[in-house]
Amino acid sequence: MPKFENIKKVLILGSGAIKIGEAGEFDYSGAQAIKAVKEEGIEVVLINPNVATIQTDKKFVGDKAYFLPITPEFAEKVIEKERPDGILLGFGGQTALNCGTELAEKGILEKYNVKVLGTSVEAIEKADDRDLFRKTMINAGVPIPKSKKANSIEEAVRAANEIGYPVMVRVAYTLGGQGTGAAFNEEQLRRVASIGLVHSRISQVLVEEYVGKWKEIEYEVLRDLDDNCMIVCSMENFDPMGVHTGDSIVVAPSQTVSDEEFQKLKSTSFAVLKALGLVGECNIQYAVHPVTGEYKVIEVNSRLSRSSALASKATGYPIAYVTAKMALGYRLPEIVNKLTGKPAGILEPVVDYIVVKMPRWDFQKFRNLNRRLGTQMKSVGEVMSIGKTFEEALQKAVRMIGNGRELTNQLNETDLNIIKNELKHPTDERLFYVVEAIRKGIAIEEVNRLTGIVPLFLESIKKIVEYEKELAATGLTQESLKKAKLLGFSDKKIGELFGKNEDTIRELRSIFNIKPAVKQIQTAKRWSEKANYLYCTYNSDKTDEVNFSESNKAIVLGSGCYRIGSSVEFDWCCVNTTWALKERGIKEVVMINCNPETVSTDFDVLDKLYFEELTLERVLDIVEKENHPSVVVSVGGQIPNNLALKLDANGIKLLGTTAKDIDRAEDRSKFSDLLDDLEIEQPKWSKLESLEKSKVFASRIGYPVLIRPSYVLSGSAMSVAYDETQLEDYLKKATDVSKEHPVVISKFMLNAREVEVDGVCDGENVFVGAIIEHVENAGVHSGDATMSLPAMTIDEITKEKIRRITRKIARDLCIKGPFNIQYLVKNRDVFVIECNLRASRSMPFVSKAIGKNLMDIAANAMLGEKIEDGEAVVEKFGVKYPQFSFMRLEGADPITGVEMVSTGEVACFGRSFEEALLKAMIAGGTKIPKPGDSILISVGGEKEKAVETAKKIMHNGYRILATGHTADALTANGIVCEKVYKISEGKKPNALDLLAERKINFVFNIPHPNRIVAQAITDGYLIRRKAVELGVPVFTNLELVDSLANALRNNINLQIS
Amino acid sequence: MVGYPEALTDPSYKGQILSLTYPLVGNYGVPSKVLDLDLPLYFESDKIQVNGLVIHDLCHEPYHWASSSTLNEWLSGEGIPGIYGLDTRRLTKKLRNRGVMLGLLQVFEKNDDPNFDVLLENCKTIADPNLTDLVAKVTTKNPVTYNVNGRKTVVLIDCGVKYSIIRNLLKRGINVVRVPYDTSANDVLFYNPDGILLSNGPGDPKKCIQTVATIRELCEKLPVMGICLGAQIIALAMGADTYKLKFGHRAQNQPALDLINRRCYITTQNHGYAINMESLKATQLEPWFINPNDKTTEGIRHKNKPVFAVQWHPEASPGPYDTELLFDVFAKNLEVH
């Protein structure tokens, strides 16, 4: 049967900001869905405030992208205006699913006659409501863990007693295991259940038999309206049950499952989908007992997910595209290759390689964080490697993570007991402890007993570890080098064993003719004859049929793993650059990237895709194979940028700014010299030469001082020292991060405004995209700052100064491409703090605000064409607002500073700054206080500003609560407020009690910056943390609070466009 | 990547060297020969049927609860040679471009020095197994009865049957009499069966002259189900034609589309010959399933008799269980008849 005929316009809900558990994968799946729908001649309307996505681009979705919060209130307004015939809920993660379910429950979809396409809301509820799910599975004869629902802590305790400890507490309607946890006794249960109840949309948890250390197997399943079912991919978790799959290393296809088991699980999957009535794609997780083979269905995701994006990339089968087609009424056999008409939908992909997915955590950025892994996801990104053997793929994956580590790097840990404890209680370091344990001779059986990781994988690691020893002993011969490469060792690592650098090993490989083969992923070819979905391996004799002969070609280096500081915005820059280069006549654009959560790794988007490491070694391998085309390093964030000098040293031509000029900006010391030469003001600075000299310098210019390493993104190891002890501490941290490049100390300016310029330069002409102002005073990392367009408090004279300096720097550095310069402004004085000769995080935001794609202009500049010397006009008010994931990160203090901690961002637009700000805040998940709500205010240090802010909102009907001195200050200034006890005062009820009783709706907690000490458990920390755990909005910045107060005072009407 | 214990013991692979494209083989070891319904639970016949195995990487430390030996131990125990460390994808491509070809797998001892010229010369004189009567080598020598005290009895004509086919009948409470492939119709009818199942097997259907004659007669009298080679023999018996496919269907992911209700199933296929769709027109047979990829015939049925056959393996093993329901259709035919 063909598609439904009465569908002419479809609304798609996006997933909003990137957060832990909901990342860039939804840009990929949403983009594929839009493509699939548009192909049918159907109009698409999209709601997604994630401004850095491809799916919201005009080029992609047209004018109908609404940058609005994904809430039923805003969705209803859009539906009312656009009158879509159908709605797709499965492409925007849990955010979209939850919003859609609410729209249905509120009768809005019925009211406007909007048909839910694909899986019905009833089916979504059956899969997501833990209790309904349980009943459905029992009726269908599908084995599941014993469980009971509970609506209160006491009910949960009773349920656990019935089932027996340990138990698992699960929450309905969440993702990334938010609010879930294992409990081994009643005390733990009470804690976990109380958090779980808060996180549930329907205040319900499920207490369940705990199956820790069972094998975790996942299937990606498709089902159409005729009940045709198929499996796209099977996956096996390296880390067994007990560690969230998002925090597990995952292998595809499954490796320790026999045919009989495989088929049994597959048939069960089909039965599950049928029982739930799901149409489209679904992810099913099984726990399989390693000794008895008993299995249970753990969870079903009735939507596109992180796993489905991974499965798409692992197989070359476009799951989201096919799912969208099925939602429009197509049956699997009817889904064909658009060009050839050959069936492509109904074919289970088979692979002749192995895929390893590896998570990335950024725990080092947070203070007080609990690093243990469990049932709540904590990773911020992932990579995928492809190899012919597990050993090869595993070693590649470790390098792809992008922190310079190798699998077999030694840990500084000799105590076997500590190692064993780390094996038993996993953290982000577990894999390296496994390696260390095996190296130290702990038996595989014991490692298996402690970790639950199956011996098959452990034996592979042992093979690697043992070969490393053997290689060091035998020395480098053609045979031994070849074997090392087969096992996935890098040139760099091999070199280290012999005290040689990687260039030497590369030369040796060249002499021995040991080179990787380039392989095609065949399934992609079924969808597009032109697809070139490639990877490299040493475990094959022969390169597949790939055309390397095109001479008009460029390579764009992708952004690699998503991490704090480098996320979907750099993928946006990469994809837009490749498209721009194509449009400007480059015949073949090649992408290298290793992040499965991206649009840039969609085999359909580019001429050639290498799903590969962004290491010097691999980039050189590919450049060689592709006959030395030019390489773009300036659009993928810091990873490609950091390769600039090394690629240049290897004779590779960079497209755009030269490596030497990049170094002049990235090397903090050279850059500060340059500013001095150009007579441009900057905060007083000094290069770190010795600790003593630094101390002298710091006391001369006066504390606080800022410590900055070179060549870093997201302010890694950047810190503000308020005294000499802190200075010593932080200097050590910074030199660890920046070994090859200098560290600089500069004056940290208080009460300064921070301004950024995003622009493009062709070496001469400079196009200023926008002058952006931060809402927060300087001191909050630009990635964590709320950005305003246009700049609000900077006057024309100062702006003119900024333009002049911008041009001066851009020309002096001979920039040919995108750049970003950051400034401090104090009393009309302008100081330069940083210049990046690459695309910046804010460029998608700026591009969308000015209606001009900066990547298009940058492509012109890179190709040597002249660009316009001028400045864009900002036509509407725009606010970019950060998204934090503190709730996921147990213990993490939700404060901001010079090192970035946010995971994503949204942007909204409006008729005024206030309107845009409020919408952006809502889009970022903040519940805006309503009259009658209680706001708790506590401010460290000076209180004047807090008093001013409180005055603004005191007449709007809010109940104001305050702690100790803040309360005194407010009362003294005639503001009616209730005094609340601090925890340290030892009296009840204190602030925490009130929070727990839900008597506080909003927290303004402004810590005094120089009182934030590592690991200190202060009153402020306890309040902030508790609020985060209970989902109560916390604001820790005065300027931001003040802007919010202005917006609240003015009672702004929030419109959709 | 899964299913090597089943594939290696599948009699349809008799006389062949099997090469697997998935690079990692042997991960879950080899299960023990426990019996279920008098048949080894995890295998498709009593021994390894292939002449040799070619893989990329062999797992020496398998991990699975049901494993009792390694793949290497099993092969050497049964005296079947294998080789690993080969780029099997490259080999597959060659086979795909040039078609299935004859090959030689010779084992050398540690200090032997193989002479490649001699080996290449030897290759030219390998006897083509397809020219021999492969079915004769794998069929049962004598009738075997599997009695589950069912109400119905099926005679299974064994052209190289996989045990899973027998298991699927027994599971449904049907007694099975397994007879040699060249049994005459009269001899089959002697068992007073309620239906006939014509099994899978190796090689060219046109070599099974006696079986074609037997089945022609039985189709007039009893419900019949054919699988793989069995399907081709039924087609020949009813006057249709078969031919050798340029690219045989050998995989666990092949779609089969039901032409009547448009349902599509994922199936295990292992056939080098196919039924000529055109030739069906002149017979009482009609196409039932096709492969949507190359549009070849995957299933046929009689226009007015309870006779049907499919080219794939509804008994799976290895492969998906999606079409086991065909055994239910057959069982129902036995009741109605």
Non-local CB neighbours of A30 within 8 Å, separated by 6+ positions: A12, A14, A15, A46, A48, A53, A55, A91, A92, A320
- Among residues A700, A681, A625, which one has the least CA distance to residue A827? A681
CB contact under 8 A, A346 and B292: yes
Give per-residue pLDDT as tens, A911-954.
999 999 999 999 999 999 888 899 999 988 778 888 988 888 88
Which residue in chain B is spatially nearest to A225 when comparing CA positions?
B263
Q: Provide the 3-class DSSP secondary structure of residue A567.
A: coil
A478 φ/ψ angles, rounded to the nearest 5 degrees: -55, -45
The full length of chain A comes to 1057
- ∠ CA A281-A25-A202, nearest 5°, is 70
Note the pLDDT tens digit of each residue in A547-566.
999 999 999 999 999 999 99
Please name the amino acid found at residue A522. Q
**Angle (nearest 5°) at CA A220 between A448 and A340:** 135
Chain B residues with CB under 8 Å of A289 CB are: 65
**Identity of the residue in A348, A455, A519 whose CB atom sits nearest the CB atom of B266:** A348
Q: Which of A992, A939, A985 is nearest to A962 (CA)?
A: A939
Taking an 8 Å cut-off on Cβ atoms, the answer to whether A228 and B27 are in contact is: no
Set of chain A residues whose Cβ sits within 8 Å of the Cβ of B59: 456
Task: Please report the number of interchain residue pairs, chain A to chain B, with beta-carbon separation below 8 angstroms.
Answer: 125
3-state SS track over chain B: CCCHHHHHCCHHHCCCEEECCCCEECCCCEECCCEECCEECCCCCCCCCCCEEEECEECCCCCCCCEEECHHHHHHHCCCCEEECCCHHHHHHHHHHHCCCCCCCCCCCCCCCCCHHHHHHHHCCCCCHHHCCHHHHHCCCCCEEECCCCCEEEEEEECCCCHHHHHHHHHCCEEEEEEECCCCHHHHHCCCCCEEEECCCCCCHHHCHHHHHHHHHHHCCCCEEEECHHHHHHHHHCCCCEEEEEEEEEEEEEEEEECCCCCEEEEEEEEEEEECCHHHHHCCEEEEEECCCCCCEEEEEECCCCEEEECCCCCCCCCCCCCCHHHHHHHHHHHHC
Inter-chain residue contact B66 with A258, CB threshold 8 Å: yes
- In this prediction, residues A883-896 reach a mean pLDDT of 90
Q: Are strands B195-198 and B152-158 parallel, antiparallel or unpaired?
A: parallel
Distance from CA of B199 to the nearest CA of A (A): 21
Predicted confidence band of residue A203 (pLDDT cuts 50, 70, 90):
confident
B313 in active site = yes
Predicted pLDDT of residue A1:
43
Least confident of B90-104, B164-178, B198-212: B90-104
Question: CB-CB: which of B5, B27, B265 is closest to A456?
Answer: B27
What was the pLDDT predicted at B31?
Answer: 94
Which residues have C-beta within 8 Å of that of residue B116, sequence separation ≥ 6? none
Catalytic residue among B56, B249, B302, B313: B313
Q: Where are the domains of chain B?
A: 4-126, 134-336
- pLDDT, mean of residues A1009-1019: 68
Distance from CA of A682 to the nearest CA of B (A): 58
Virtual torsion, Cα A334, A336, A338, A339, nearest 10 deg: -130
pLDDT > 90 fraction of chain B, expressed in percent and rounded:
76
- Compute the average pLDDT of residues B17-26: 93
Separation of alpha carbons B285 and B290, rounded Å: 14
pLDDT at B337: 74
When pLDDT is cut at 50, 70 and 90, the band that residue A231 belongs to is very high
Q: Is the CB of B252 less than 8 angstroms away from the CB of A348?
A: yes
Judged against a pLDDT cut of 80, whether residue A1014 lies above it is answered with no
Catalytic residue among B6, B44, B298, B315: B315
Q: Has B286 been annotated as catalytic? A: no
Question: Which are the contacts of A75, defined by CB distance < 8 A and separation ≥ 6?
Answer: A11, A13, A47, A99, A103, A108
Q: Which residues of A touch B292 (CB under 8 A)?
A: 333, 343, 346
Window from A174-178, A510-514, B231-235 with minimum mean pLDDT: A174-178
pTM: 0.94
Mean of the per-residue pLDDT values for chain B? 93
What are residue A654's DSSP bridge partners? A631
How far apart are the C-alpha atoms of A943 and A949, rounded to whole Å? 10
Which chain A residue's Cα is nearest to B25? A255
Confidence of residue B300 (pLDDT cuts 50, 70, 90): very high
Helices then strands (H, E): number in chain A? Answer: 37, 39
Out of 3.20.20.370, 3.40.50.720, 3.50.30.20, 3.90.1150.10, the CATH code matching B4-126 is 3.50.30.20
pLDDT in tens, A492-521: 999 999 999 999 999 999 999 999 999 999
* % of chain A residues with pLDDT over 70: 98
Facing A230 at nearest CB: one of B90, B263, B266: B266
A934-939 and A959-963 strand pairing: parallel
Q: How far apart are CA B193 and CA B152, in angstroms?
A: 8
Q: Which of A612-621, A726-735, A898-907 has the lowest mean pLDDT?
A: A726-735
Contact B22 A263 (CB under 8 A): no
Q: What is the mean pLDDT of residues A274-293?
A: 94
Q: What 3-state DSSP class applies to A738? A: coil
Which candidate in B228, B271, B298, B302 is catalytic? B228
Determine whether the interchain pair A259/B3 forms a contact, defined as Cβ–Cβ distance below 8 Å. Answer: yes
Q: Does the CA dihedral B30-B31-B35-B40 come out positive or negative?
A: negative
Q: What is the mean pLDDT of residues A1022-1040?
A: 92
Q: Which structural domains are found in chain A, ordered by start?
A: 9-117 (3.40.50.20), 146-210 (3.30.1490.20), 212-351 (3.30.470.20), 352-655 (3.40.50.20), 684-747 (3.30.1490.20), 753-875 (3.30.470.20), 923-1049 (3.40.50.1380)
In sign, the C-alpha dihedral spanning A910, A913, A917, A918 is: negative
At A705-756, the pLDDT tens digits run 999 888 776 677 788 999 998 899 888 888 776 667 788 899 999 899 999 9
pLDDT tens for each residue of A349-372: 999 999 999 999 999 888 788 999
Structure tokens at A923: 């889009």
Contact A1027, A1003 (CB under 8 A): yes
Judging contacts by C-beta atoms under 8 Å, the chain A residues touching residue B62 are 456
Q: How far is A343 from chain B (nearest CA, A)?
A: 6
Q: How far is B133 from chain A (nearest CA, A)?
A: 31
CB < 8 Å to B255, chain A: 333, 343, 346-347
At A844, list the tokens: 């998608």
| Per-residue pLDDT band at A1052 (split at 50, 70, 90) | confident
Average pLDDT over residues A134-153: 93
From chain B, pick out residues whose CB is under 8 angstroms from the CB of A259: 2-3, 5-6, 317-319
pLDDT for res A868 = 96
* Kind and range of the H or E run holding A445: helix A444-451
**Nearest chain B residue to A349, by CA:** B253
Q: Which of A226, A266, A541 sits opposite B320 (nearest CB)?
A: A266
Name the most confidently modeled range: A551-560, A707-716, A968-977, B58-67. Answer: A551-560
Contact A296, A129 (CB under 8 A): no
Query: For domain B134-336, is the CATH number 3.40.50.880?
Result: yes
Cα A621 to Cα A2, A66, A506, A537, A616: the distances in Å are: 47, 43, 10, 11, 9
pLDDT given at position A173: 64
Say if residue B81 is preceded by a cis peptide, omega within 30 of 0: no
For A455, which of B63, B261, B320 is closest by C-beta distance?
B63
- pLDDT value at residue A973: 93
Closest by CA to B226, choosing from B130, B292, B297, is: B297
B264 is catalytic: no
Which region among A137-141, A726-730, A1016-1020 has the lowest average model confidence (pLDDT)? A1016-1020
Distance of CA B257 to the CA centre of its chain: 20
Gap from B334 CA to chain A (nearest CA, Å): 26
A756-767 pLDDT, tens digit each:
999 999 999 999
Distance CA A16, CA A45 (A): 15
Residues of B in contact with A226 (CB under 8 A): 261-264
Arithmetic mean of pLDDT over chain A: 93
